[in-house]
């Protein structure tokens, strides 16, 4: 087939978005071009997320729609069979979990692609093009070839440095879907970073479920701060970020690196999940509130203007009102700059999902989440107000002409604050200095200086 087109629908986290860029790159090599219109695609890929039930349901509902597009025909034996095109690929975390059951549940799916089999995509596509239905989900050591990446045009390039997690928090599906921690080879990471910079990207964000574990399976000395130093040494003006940190795994060496290296930004994303010691224990998190606070205080005392963001879950099984209030208190007391919030969603296979008797009613979870969000908004506004009148460096990400004719550029400070600035020119990709003139809940306003 000439001029084959592929459409990828990506759900969930940044790691999935990064995987989608890799899929596009690999598929381009075997003759596919990307389309934004799923109806004209020869291959439809859903890149799934299993962190919440809602996301999983969305994936199945989407392929249900695509299955109908595929249509059915009757073969010579009089049996109904699905038409060969468009090919449907079910990839990502739900694929990893569901394996061959997905082929039974959705008989129009051609390929189930697990998270650790991403780099086999070109060969697997050839097999489904030849008419096979394939499931490829077995766990395997991190392997990759010299692949092309077809990045979404932007300022920031996401670069995975490791995958998987060994922590087994009782609510989390990631260790089951992404496997155990595996570090990418530094030479591949550095090559990818250099290529992204040569293509014009101005910010590199290193990705991993637990970036502090980077290098544990590599020769001694090759850890996160070592990697940051290698990247910082690359010539040119650009920024470096990394996510996500596990609270008790953040080392002084990494904090020193953030202070010392000019390109590494003053930003830490450190999920706390609950402010209550009993719930933290039930979550199998390896710290209590006092320890987490000590870590934040330590980072703040050392890194000027640092932004610390976090994640919280409302309505974990058995959470009492008092325990939930400890989370609200923690969020305020720690002066967190921003938090991702979610209500607890039971995930099959995880330990907490078995505590059905302790499940919090949906209406209580919803109400707690609303209060958590209210606290989050207050924390964000308080954090943003600290920067009123300050001069800050902004990397411009976007230029827009608004409906009322106003021309505005938007960018981020080193510590990840979003700033809108009136400006007649498109300065996307440039580093500019601004004065902060106004602080809103989710962003700052500034003026060029």
Question: Does the footprint of ligand SF4 cover residue 168 (CB under 6 A)?
Answer: yes
Nearer to ligand SF4, 93 or 421 (CB): 93
Residues contacting residue 364 through CB under 8 Å, at least 6 positions apart: 315
C-alpha closest to that of 42 among 10, 110, 95, 88:
88
* Stretch 111-150 residues interacting with ligand SF4 (CB under 6 A): none
Nearer to ligand SF4, 346 or 429 (CB): 346
Question: Does the footprint of ligand SF4 cover residue 93 (CB under 6 A)?
Answer: no
Q: Helix or strand or coil: residue 173?
A: coil
Return the residue matching tokens 């989608």. Answer: 20
Specify the stretch interacting with ligand SF4 by CB under 6 A; choose among 16-24, 55-63, 139-147, 171-179. Answer: 171-179
Select the residue interacting with ligand SF4 from 48, 209, 326, 384 (CB under 6 A): 209
Question: Does the footprint of ligand SF4 cover residue 210 (CB under 6 A)?
Answer: yes
Nearer to ligand SF4, 354 or 386 (CB): 354
Specify the stretch interacting with ligand SF4 by CB under 6 A; choose among 60-68, 90-98, 133-141, 163-171. Answer: 163-171
Nearer to ligand SF4, 284 or 398 (CB): 284
Question: Does the footprint of ligand SF4 cover residue 97 (CB under 6 A)?
Answer: no
Select the residue interacting with ligand SF4 from 169, 295, 334, 423 (CB under 6 A): 169
Instruction: Classify residue 263 as left (phi > 0), alpha (psi -120 to 50) or beta.
Output: alpha
Question: Does the footprint of ligand SF4 cover residue 167 (CB under 6 A)?
Answer: yes
Select the residue interacting with ligand SF4 from 44, 112, 174, 231 (CB under 6 A): 174
Nearer to ligand SF4, 60 or 176 (CB): 176
Can you say how many angstroms the Cα of residue 270 is from the centroid of all Cα atoms in its chain? Answer: 14
Which contiguous run of DSSP H or E holds residue 391? strand 391-401
Establish how many alpha carbons lie within 13 A of residue 386's alpha carbon, considering only the half-sphere containing its beta carbon. 14
C-alpha closest to that of 110 among 140, 152, 82:
82
In angstroms, give the least distance from the CB of 173 to ligand SF4.
Answer: 7
Question: Does the footprint of ligand SF4 cover residue 350 (CB under 6 A)?
Answer: no
Distance in angstroms (rounded) separating the CA atoms of residues 411 and 400: 12
In angstroms, give the least distance from the CB of 264 to ligand SF4.
Answer: 22
Nearer to ligand SF4, 124 or 174 (CB): 174
Question: Does the footprint of ligand SF4 cover residue 165 (CB under 6 A)?
Answer: yes
In angstroms, give the least distance from the CB of 169 to ligand SF4.
Answer: 3
Question: Does the footprint of ligand SF4 cover residue 175 (CB under 6 A)?
Answer: yes
Nearer to ligand SF4, 223 or 244 (CB): 244
SS3 of the chain: helix, strand, coil, percent, to 5: 35, 25, 40
Nearer to ligand SF4, 201 or 246 (CB): 246
Distance in angstroms (rounded) separating the CA atoms of residues 19 and 447: 37
Cis peptide before 115 (omega within 30 of 0): no
Nearer to ligand SF4, 246 or 289 (CB): 246
Question: Does the footprint of ligand SF4 cover residue 246 (CB under 6 A)?
Answer: yes
Nearer to ligand SF4, 350 or 413 (CB): 350
Contact 48, 56 (CB under 8 A): yes
Specify the stretch interacting with ligand SF4 by CB under 6 A; choose among 40-48, 161-169, 191-199, 377-385. Answer: 161-169
E-strand ranges in 306-378 read: 307-314, 338-343
Residues contacting residue 375 through CB under 8 Å, at least 6 positions apart: 328, 331, 332
List the structure tokens of 320. 């009492």
In angstroms, give the least distance from the CB of 167 to ligand SF4.
Answer: 4
Running DSSP on this structure, what letter comes out for residue 264? Answer: B
Return the residue matching tokens 């790159």. Answer: 25
Question: Does the footprint of ligand SF4 cover residue 383 (CB under 6 A)?
Answer: no
Specify the stretch interacting with ligand SF4 by CB under 6 A; choose among 80-88, 116-124, 169-177, 183-191. Answer: 169-177
**Using a CB cutoff of 8 Å and minimum separation of 24, what contacts does 193-199 make?**
193/157, 193/159, 193/231, 193/234, 194/234, 195/149, 196/151, 196/157, 196/159, 197/234, 197/236, 197/238, 199/151
Size of the site for ligand SF4 (CB under 6 A): 10
Question: Does the footprint of ligand SF4 cover residue 161 (CB under 6 A)?
Answer: no
Q: Helix or strand or coil: residue 447?
A: strand
Residues of this chain that interact with ligand SF4 (CB under 6 A) are 165, 167-169, 172, 174-175, 209-210, 246
């Amino acid at each position: 087939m000439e001029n084959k087109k592929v459409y990828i629908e990506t759900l969930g986290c940044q790691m999935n978005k990064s995987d989608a860029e890799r899929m596009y790159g690999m598929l381009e090599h075997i003759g596919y071009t990307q389309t934004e219109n799923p109806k004209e695609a020869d291959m439809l890929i859903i890149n799934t997320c299993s962190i919440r039930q809602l996301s999983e349901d969305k994936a199945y509902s989407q392929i249900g729609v695509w299955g109908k597009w595929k249509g059915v025909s009757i073969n010579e034996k009089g049996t109904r069979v699905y038409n060969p095109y468009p090919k449907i690929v079910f990839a990502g975390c739900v694929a990893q979990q569901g394996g061959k059951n997905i082929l039974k549940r959705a008989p129009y799916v051609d390929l189930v692609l697990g998270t650790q089999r991403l780099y086999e995509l070109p060969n697997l596509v050839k097999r489904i093009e030849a008419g096979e239905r394939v499931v490829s989900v077995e766990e395997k050591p991190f392997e990759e070839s010299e692949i092309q990446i077809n990045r979404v045009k932007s300022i920031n390039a996401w670069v995975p440095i490791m995958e998987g997690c060994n922590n087994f928090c009782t609510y989390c599906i990631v260790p089951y879907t992404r496997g155990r921690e595996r570090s990418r080879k530094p030479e591949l990471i550095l090559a990818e970073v250099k290529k992204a910079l040569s293509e014009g990207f101005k910010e590199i964000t290193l990705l991993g479920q637990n970036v502090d574990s980077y290098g544990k399976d590599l020769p001694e000395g090759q850890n996160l701060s070592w990697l940051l130093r290698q990247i910082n040494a690359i010539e040119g003006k650009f920024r470096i970020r990394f996510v996500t940190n596990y609270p008790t795994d953040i080392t002084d060496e990494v904090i020193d690196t953030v202070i010392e290296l000019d390109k590494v930004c003053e930003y830490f994303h450190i999920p706390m999940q609950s402010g209550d010691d009993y719930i933290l224990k039930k979550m199998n998190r390896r710290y209590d509130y006092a320890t987490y606070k000590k870590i934040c205080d330590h980072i703040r005392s050392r890194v000027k203007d640092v932004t610390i963001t976090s994640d919280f879950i409302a309505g974990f099984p058995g959470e009492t009102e008092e325990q939930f209030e400890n989370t609200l208190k923690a969020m305020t007391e720690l002066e967190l700059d921003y938090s991702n919030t979610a209500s607890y969603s039971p995930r099959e296979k995880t330990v907490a999902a078995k505590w059905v008797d302790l499940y919090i009613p949906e209406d209580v979870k919803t109400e707690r989440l609303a209060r958590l969000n209210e606290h989050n908004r207050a924390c964000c506004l308080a954090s943003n107000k600290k920067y009123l009148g300050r001069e800050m460096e902004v990397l411009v990400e976007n230029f827009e002409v608004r409906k009322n004719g106003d021309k505005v550029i938007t960018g981020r400070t080193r510590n990840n604050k979003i700033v809108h600035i009136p400006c007649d020119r498109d300065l996307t990709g440039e580093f500019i200095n601004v004065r902060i003139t106004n602080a809103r809940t989710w962003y700052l306003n500034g003026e060029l200086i």
